[in-house]
Chain A
């Protein structure tokens, strides 16, 4: 029979360990790196587990030694300090021994890391190439081999929704089992397109192009976000990838291209649009692209983003050309982006019309796509 105290202790221990494991079982990955869903991230995940385990063992050793010392070398226990300890053989050789042990652990880790690093940096031929452009505060995806462009904006949800800050209106669609290359860049400040399940991160730098890649192994939706501080909207830049089978991917491409062609035809026609049409379209464009900074009520954020309601540009008939120019070309040195390359003539015409007629603005002009074409 065990003594009573030991029984209590072992019961406690067993309960504790069971609790730990049961809680880990159903939420395993909330404590760890997200489960990998590509060949490359799987390799990285294994590397991560290697260093974690080595680290845990080292911590156990250090903690063990300290606890042993605390128990045995106490003044209260009458321990007598060994004033010559550092002069013994151990004292004379420890400064070599310990570094050699640490070095060998280091080299084990470094060699395994180095080979994974070569996989990350391999530049094999890709099946699909996507250019990922970060801008304040959304992602734009351009398929380099197909004429497809996706603009991914935060989908506004309540803070109680499971997908709060994790969902976008238009995700990137990719095929599984293909090598996908990402070219990363930015149109304004540094951003960092990160989805841990499928890619190792590289930052998006304005004026430069970085590269990373994936080969997704499982269909599904993968969520990440911006990891480089990019200012006001940094917390509101989710990145979502929908991975589908190659056949579904091909079908999706066909439908998508048809939709885009239709929208483009509509925008470039020299059609003259009525006010109601322009206002409705303008509000949609505004909500998607401008609202994050200039706010729903057009008041902006004082000192940070200028108000459009009653502004010297948007509410002044003499300043129409200036208004169009700032939307098309942006304003250097501020968060105001150049929308010319991102929106078509119709969208810009509509949003400028909307801004001049909403929130009590009385400038009143209707701007047509052909005006924008002329201003570009």
Chain B
């Protein structure tokens, strides 16, 4: 069978290959996107189960459910799973689905690489799961990974064999992210339809462009840091051991040189979604599209040079500390600009409140709040009081859950009609919104108070003065966890049926800088664009 006939064969049927091969060998951006999204959904429940365990343990003072080391292992893996297994793959799934359709490309630039970057993820997930059980199944397995997701030595050098699995999982995740990012950057630069200039791209595409650049820049640093850790553990080096001439703080610099930009990796794709959702439901073009694009660029650049604000207590020189403090405080400028652009997009608009818009408005409010506590934390002397307390936990959950996770929910509801060809149940969507938003605040707001009062983070047990705040937090946490069963139900229901979605399910989606996805039917055909669309 020649290449040409295979090609024709495809064109005759215009349908996907059948059976398991469709998925395992897939090079189709939509199928790979779908797999990313389901993987993320699975990890959401996996990481969520760990969060439920954490909140159950913290419901009352005393160690009730498991050992302190197991608790710390759950705190570590909850974070790793949510960050690398949930938020990043979900955002990558949306990128795979939407970017080619938005810019009028037939597929991603490097489809086979795309297949590889997805299939590395389940492999990494298996390694992570092994890291949890390894200490129990190997004789002399040592302690579980009890360091927290920052994996700080020397504690991480003491850990048992589980740490090695964690390190390999991070390597695998890193390779996957870098390959996916290269693919996305290449697609955006090379595959745009004629007439789709960079400044005509939908904001989501821009957001992913910066995200991918950040990932390519910082992922290798994390990979290097954990490799050095591996060498310290097994090959007698002492990169991080003062006794051998090394420096334990070096690891922190490497980790946070990756870790701080990573925060924007989690945030930016969701900001990209907001840049589409808010104009759509306000029926008015994005206010300050250009300012937002430049703002995101500045944010990404500034984000690369302020990593040490996670380490104000390591004992830096006065000059260095001042530099990191001012740099960090300045981040409020692009962030403020962004929030302003969204608020003024709503201004003098004509708003309706479908589920994606509800999430959009909630994000603006709660993310502003995270920004405010962020500025408080940026102030070094005050941070020397807040550091490693629950206040920090509260801050980053206000940043990550509205800033990243709710943005993804907004995206899911915004595009579900396009993906499945069915409208989701709007009533259930709104119930889901109110349920998550209220329980989220119930969970994390009290943590600001317990943190200020001095409760450290990553402790399995606390003194009774913090009991009330933790009880409220736990009840909120369980409700938040429970709400996701409704989320799952809505998605399954929409996939299985429902009102037929038109090509343009949202009245306002053609305003401003729309993507080309709305010119395709819902669901779009297996090969999105067989002929390059032309933009005037």
Using a CB–CB distance below 8 Å, which chain A residues touch chain B? 29-34, 41, 43-44, 47-48, 51-52, 54-55, 58-59, 62-63, 65-66, 69-70, 73-76, 79-83, 85-86, 90-91, 94-95, 98-99, 102-103, 105-106, 109-110, 113-114, 116-121, 159-166, 188-190, 192, 194, 196, 200-203, 205-208, 210-211, 224-236, 301, 303-304, 333-335
B142 interface neighbour in A31, A208, A304, Cβ under 8 Å: A304
A32, A58, A161 interface centre (most CB from chain B within 10 Å) = A58
Contact status B135-A82, CB under 8 Å: no
A348 to B324, CA, bound (A): 47
A110-B325, A304-B143 known; A224+B454 contact, CB < 8 A = yes
* 15 pairs of residues in contact across A and B, judged by CB atoms under 8 Å: A31-B449, A47-B379, A48-B385, A73-B347, A74-B350, A91-B344, A102-B333, A117-B322, A190-B155, A190-B248, A202-B315, A205-B248, A230-B155, A301-B69, A304-B69
B157 interface neighbour in A196, A200, A333, Cβ under 8 Å: A333
A70 to B358, CA, bound (A): 11
Tell me if B171 is interfacial: C-beta within 8 Å of chain A.
no
A30 interface neighbour in B144, B384, B449, B456, Cβ under 8 Å: B449
Contact status B313-A85, CB under 8 Å: no
Tell me if B361 is interfacial: C-beta within 8 Å of chain A.
yes
Contact status B375-A51, CB under 8 Å: yes
Tell me if B463 is interfacial: C-beta within 8 Å of chain A.
yes
Residues of the A chain whose Cβ atoms lie less than 8 Å from the Cβ of B282? 73, 81
Tell me if B78 is interfacial: C-beta within 8 Å of chain A.
no
Using a CB–CB distance below 8 Å, which chain B residues touch chain A? 60-62, 67-69, 72, 135-136, 140-144, 146-148, 152, 154-155, 157-158, 160, 241-243, 247-249, 282-288, 290-291, 313-315, 318, 321-322, 325-326, 329-330, 332-333, 336-337, 339-340, 343-344, 346-352, 361, 364-365, 368-369, 372-373, 375-376, 379-382, 384-385, 387-389, 449, 452-454, 456, 458-465, 511
Q: Is the interface of A mostly helix, strand, loop or mixed?
A: mixed
Q: Which residue of B lies closest to A90 (CB)?
A: B344
A248 to B384, CA, bound (A): 31
A43, A44, A95 interface centre (most CB from chain B within 10 Å) = A95
**A143, chain B: closest CB distance, angstroms:** 22
Contact status A208-B242, CB under 8 Å: yes
Q: Which residue of A lies closest to B232 (CB)?
A: A333
A34-B453, A81-B282, A190-B248 known; A206+B154 contact, CB < 8 A = yes
A150 to B266, CA, bound (A): 46
A301 to B66, CA, bound (A): 12
Contact status B385-A81, CB under 8 Å: no
A33 to B454, CA, bound (A): 7
Contact status A85-B348, CB under 8 Å: yes
**A37, chain B: closest CB distance, angstroms:** 13
Contact status A98-B336, CB under 8 Å: yes
A29 interface neighbour in B343, B368, B453, B511, Cβ under 8 Å: B453
6 shortest A-B CB distances, which residue pairs? A207-B242, A200-B384, A235-B459, A55-B372, A95-B291, A82-B348
**A232, chain B: closest CB distance, angstroms:** 5
B146 interface neighbour in A44, A90, A109, A231, Cβ under 8 Å: A231
A91 to B287, CA, bound (A): 7
Instruction: List 11 extra interface pairs beyond A102-B337, A164-B463, A225-B456, CB under 8 A.
Output: A59-B369, A74-B351, A85-B348, A110-B325, A120-B380, A189-B158, A196-B454, A201-B313, A203-B314, A207-B242, A304-B69
Number of A-B contacts (CB under 8 A): 299
Contact status B249-A334, CB under 8 Å: no
A99 interface neighbour in B62, B336, B375, Cβ under 8 Å: B336
Residues of the A chain whose Cβ atoms lie less than 8 Å from the Cβ of B321? 117, 121
B143, B382, B388 interface centre (most CB from chain A within 10 Å) = B382
Q: Which residue of B lies closest to A97 (CB)?
A: B340
A81-B284, A85-B284 known; A48+B332 contact, CB < 8 A = no
Residues of the A chain whose Cβ atoms lie less than 8 Å from the Cβ of B60? 159
Q: Which residue of A lies closest to B335 (CB)?
A: A102
A95-B288, A117-B380, A120-B381 known; A334+B158 contact, CB < 8 A = yes
Q: Which residue of A lies closest to B372 (CB)?
A: A55
A66-B365, A99-B336 known; A114+B325 contact, CB < 8 A = yes
Q: Which residue of A lies closest to B295 (CB)?
A: A95
**B457, chain A: closest CB distance, angstroms:** 8
B152 interface neighbour in A65, A190, A208, A235, Cβ under 8 Å: A190
Residues of the A chain whose Cβ atoms lie less than 8 Å from the Cβ of B372? 55, 58-59
**B63, chain A: closest CB distance, angstroms:** 8
A235 interface neighbour in B314, B336, B337, B461, Cβ under 8 Å: B461
A227 interface neighbour in B241, B351, B388, Cβ under 8 Å: B388
A109 to B462, CA, bound (A): 33
A117-B321, A205-B314, A235-B68 known; A81+B343 contact, CB < 8 A = no
Contact status B352-A75, CB under 8 Å: yes
A76-B352, A81-B350 known; A102+B376 contact, CB < 8 A = no
Contact status B249-A73, CB under 8 Å: no
A165 to B463, CA, bound (A): 5
Residues of the B chain whose Cβ atoms lie less than 8 Å from the Cβ of A234? 68, 72, 456, 458-460
Contact status B464-A159, CB under 8 Å: yes
Residues of the B chain whose Cβ atoms lie less than 8 Å from the Cβ of A52? 376
A56 to B336, CA, bound (A): 15
Contact status B388-A86, CB under 8 Å: no
B67 interface neighbour in A33, A227, A301, Cβ under 8 Å: A301
Contact status A117-B325, CB under 8 Å: yes
Residues of the B chain whose Cβ atoms lie less than 8 Å from the Cβ of A189? 154-155, 158
Residues of the A chain whose Cβ atoms lie less than 8 Å from the Cβ of B148? 229
Residues of the B chain whose Cβ atoms lie less than 8 Å from the Cβ of A233? 68
Residues of the A chain whose Cβ atoms lie less than 8 Å from the Cβ of B285? 83, 86
Contact status A73-B291, CB under 8 Å: no
A128 to B249, CA, bound (A): 28
